[in-house]
Amino acid sequence: MATRWGICGAGKISHDFCVALRTLSNEDHQIVAVASRSLESAEKFAKTHSIPKAYGSYQELAKDPNIDVLYIGVVHTHHLQVGLLFLNAGKNVLCEKPFAMNLREVRQLVSAARENNVFLMEAVWSRCFPLYAEVGRLLSENTVGEVKMVKAYFGLPLLDRERSTQKEQGGGALMDIGIYCLQFALMVFKGERPESIHATGVLLPSGVDESMVVVLKFSGNRMAVCVCSIACDLPNDATICGSKGMIRVAHPMHCPTVLELNGKKTEFPLPEPGLPLNFTNSTGLRYEAEEVRRCLLKGLKESIKMSLTDSELLTEIMDEARRQVGVVYDQDSQ
């Protein structure tokens, strides 16, 4: 039986997710419905992606009995409200990153998933890439010895995009792209809670972070340095430095296709898209869809690749980094 997907949101990331799904077998994945706050937008999206049903409200999507799992691709300030709607309707959910605006909101989503006994996963798609699996294998085999330092960079010139710069839309470098650097460090250190978090950054007039550097110190004198910016391009790679060598995830580290082990390159090519994409390497969204199907077929309620505990720790670190730099969203005072 195919996994039947419902798509919440008719924006750019939902478009790319649907294009990625089309690179997988129709016997395994089918897109059965899409919903937007505007029926016209939903119908246009449905036509582009050959989706049989279009809804002009998220409530209608939540009530559709022919959906196995919902993909949430709306702006993250709405993740809590929309996520709770679907979870409380008994739907399995794959929700775009960042999961929600802060730890309090993330815990509400996790509680709702557990109360309704449904699957929930934060769509940190990076974690599902074959290259990340290879990094995990290399680390488990102690290929570079004891890991001492992790460095991850992600910067893009996004100051002309309201979604990235406005507080009301959950903007800021950390929430938008810095999350990828932090999740990489946490993956390398197997979800361990850091002993200390030190963050510094600069703010835009809107009150969100233009650039931020987060330094995490872990047990055993191990460290991670995460650098993000929406003001300029950065190297956008990630490096794991060990006592016996180095692993480098080449640009773009959040959706990578090239891995270097002590300078020797290995490539992990992606399938070609059937339609133009909005974002880099987006056919790689197929890997998180495959992971969701694997979990659903096994009756799992969360994924080991990006567990709910992983999401809670990631959010907790972002909350603390924002507190130190002075980034406060309306949701933080509720």
Helix (H) or strand (E) holding 20: helix 12-21
Give residues with Cβ within 8 angstroms of 198, minimum separation 6: 214, 215, 217, 324
Cβ atoms of 165 and 171 within 8 Å: the answer is yes
* 136 lies in the same domain as 118: no
Residue 294 lies in a domain: no
Q: Which of 124, 117, 111 is nearest to 84 (CA)?
A: 111
Instruction: Tell me the sheet residues that pair with 199.
Output: 214
The per-residue pLDDT of the chain, averaged, comes to: 98
Instruction: Please compute the mean of the pLDDT values over residues 178-184 and round it to a whole number.
Output: 98
Per-residue confidence (pLDDT) for residue 160, from 0 to 100 = 97
In a domain, 299, yes or no: no
Band the pLDDT of 303: cuts 50, 70, 90: very high
Rounded distance between C-alpha atoms, residue 160 and residue 267, angstroms: 33
Mind listing the pLDDT tens digit for each residue in 249-258?
A: 999 999 999 9
Same domain? For 81 and 174 the reply is no
**Average pLDDT, integer, range 57-69:** 98
What is the DSSP code string of 162-220? HHHH-GGGT-SHIIIIIHHHHHHHHHHTTTPPPSEEEEEEEE-TTSSEEEEEEEEEETT
**Same-domain check for residues 236 and 261:** yes
Domain carrying residue 197: 126-267+274-280+306-333
Same-domain check for residues 252 and 195: yes
pLDDT at 317: 98
- The mean pLDDT value for 321-334 works out to 96
User: Do 107 and 234 have their domain in common?
Assistant: no
Q: In angstroms, rounded to a whole number, what is the distance separating the alpha carbons of residues 128 and 3?
A: 18
CATH of the domain at 70: 3.40.50.720
113 and 201 inside one domain: no
Does 214 lie in the same domain as 108?
no
Q: Provide the b/e sequence for 266-294 (b: ≥16 CB within 10 Å).
A: eeeebeeeeeebeeebbbbbbbbbbbbbe
Residues 173 and 246 in one domain: yes
Q: Cα(213)–Cα(174) distance, rounded to whole angstroms?
A: 9
SS (H, E, C) 271-295: CCCCCCCCCCCHHHHHHHHHHHHHH
Other Cβ atoms closer than 10 A to 149: 15
**Average pLDDT of the segment spanning 101-127:** 98
Domain end position, chosen among 103, 125, 147: 125
How confident is the model at residue 24, as a pLDDT? 98
Does residue 298 belong to any structural domain of this protein?
no
**What is the mean predicted confidence (pLDDT) over 39-55?**
98
Q: Are 120 and 161 within one domain?
A: no
Whether residue 323 is found in the same domain as residue 214: yes
Is residue 119 one of the residues assigned to a domain? yes
Of 224, 199, 225, 223, residue with least CA distance to 212: 199
Same domain for 213 and 71, yes or no, is no
CATH number for the domain that contains residue 168: 3.30.360.10
Q: Is the pLDDT of residue 334 over 90?
A: no
State the average pLDDT over residues 309-325: 98
pLDDT at 74 over 80: yes
Q: How many domains does the chain have?
A: 2
